[in-house]
Structure 1
Amino acid sequence: MLAEAFEAQRDRLRAVAYRLLGSHADAEDVVQEAWLRLSRQDPAGIHNLSGWLTTVVGRISLDVLRSRRPSASYDELVVTVDDGSSPADDAALADSVGLALLVVLESLRPDERLAFVLHDLFAVPFEEIGQILGRSTDATKMLASRARRKVGGTSPPVSDLRAQRQVVRAFLGAARTGDFAALLRVLDPDVRLTADTADGATVTIGATEVAAGARFGAQDGARGRGVLVNGRPGFLAWRADGSPLTLLAFVVADGKITAITTISNPARLAALDLPAQPTWK
């Protein structure tokens, strides 16, 4: 009976873990660990199985997030050519609607991510989330509120997407010319840059630090074009031989770039279904 009750909860638990971790494999591992912990419990001591399992999955996922090496943890990316049309009008971006949130969640701290996902997506009370985090109810509400401001919607409307493109183009133009002041104007003070390279993953936080790195990156001289990464503005650069060099994904909120993910890891780029290099005149 306990196994049957758990199986009835499995799909929901998997959805919670996936939203928290952005990886189907990690989500499956977390759910399996939750079952192992449940199997060692006395069912008579569990008065609300659904709540108990959600708490366990939340705690395990939080441990995974806190111990994870900095990287783009979501394991799916939909990259398409940005021709200026709305993602809603492009059948090739149908899968990106559900994935766009994962890009934004990657910019959140583990505690913010857990508070937002459990409360806003799965209606877990703040009191229960606070117990997982070891924080008061009011502090947990503040975490969710901060995360909600950063997320700001999973699929931007056409007008908002147009404005986001302009911010990203301003960033790329300033990086190309090394205009430090212009870079600072489009970067959020707490912007988070996650770089996935062949040597591993690194995270840089802060507008000044990110702007300095962007100025150095402007020396590459690679050619590229705008793309949409999970429905949000991005940029893809190629080497002279046509092989992909770097993929950039941006998160823009209130006219400022709040998160940037750069992928230059050849193995990761090779695993992605990327648009072909255009023919430049």
Structure 2
Amino acid sequence: MQRKAYVPGAAVLLAALLAGCTGASDDGGSPTDSKGGDTGTTAVVAQPGKYRTLPEACGAVDHDTLDSLLPGIEQLTDPAQQETAYEGEATLTYDTDRRDGCSWKVESASATDHLSVGFERVVSYDNAVSDDNKAEDLFTTRETAADLPEPATSGTASGTAASSSPNGDATPGGAGKSGGSDDSGAGGGGSEPTPSGSGSPSETPAALQPRVLDDLADQAFLNDRLSTGSSTARQRTVTVVFRTSNVIVTIEYAEQPTASGGVPDSEEMQDRARKLADVLAGKLDG
């Protein structure tokens, strides 16, 4: 009996399977990509931030600046105590290239002053998000939490937006915000946004309101809070937060007068905090 010829058919089937595996086209073109959608291009990875390290916080503020912000240092007669006051107290941190901070607290004959400086280097662990963009998002969150009042218009800057109290404070009208607090120290729980002036009738209240600072670093804002509801001396806290590339810097400057009923001057404190912010921004750029 003659056998049936199965071999030629199997050979044809095998050839077809091999052609399907290689994906070769009839015209000799390149094989088809089995992944589909891979055009051969490399995905763009977001750029790292400008800064890889941070300044040493306790050494970032020089003695002259500390003398201005903390007058009690110069009143110390013991050289060892004075040196300790200049050194400040370092903030506990586990990685000084990511976070570093320092604080100073000094009493003088007229007030107790407190200063803290914090540096944070933001790192994005998402290849699609740059360090700068991550830092910008974090800064915006802190600015929102600070609950800054709406900027006063030119029609209200002459004084209709603020009312003077007997102690010389100027309370921004229409702000209606008590201000939240956040881990950056930008807010002041239990306090009201009451930028005080020197009491001069010619002073423009709008210039001292908590506000965005357009002339400092990439982004910046200033907050000014005065404690409320006490017959004793009222503590004022001025906070400046700014971002340069992927580093966020927070300055908190507070003063509480010794005399009952005393109110720290807002303009003076804001000016001191702003000058320190300019110095620290220069250290980063330098």
Q: State the TM bucket, normalised to the shorter chain.
A: under 0.3
Structure whose CA Rg is larger: 2
For normalisation by structure 1, the TM-score amounts to: 0.25
Higher normalized contact order (CA 8 Å, seq sep 6+, divided by chain length): 1
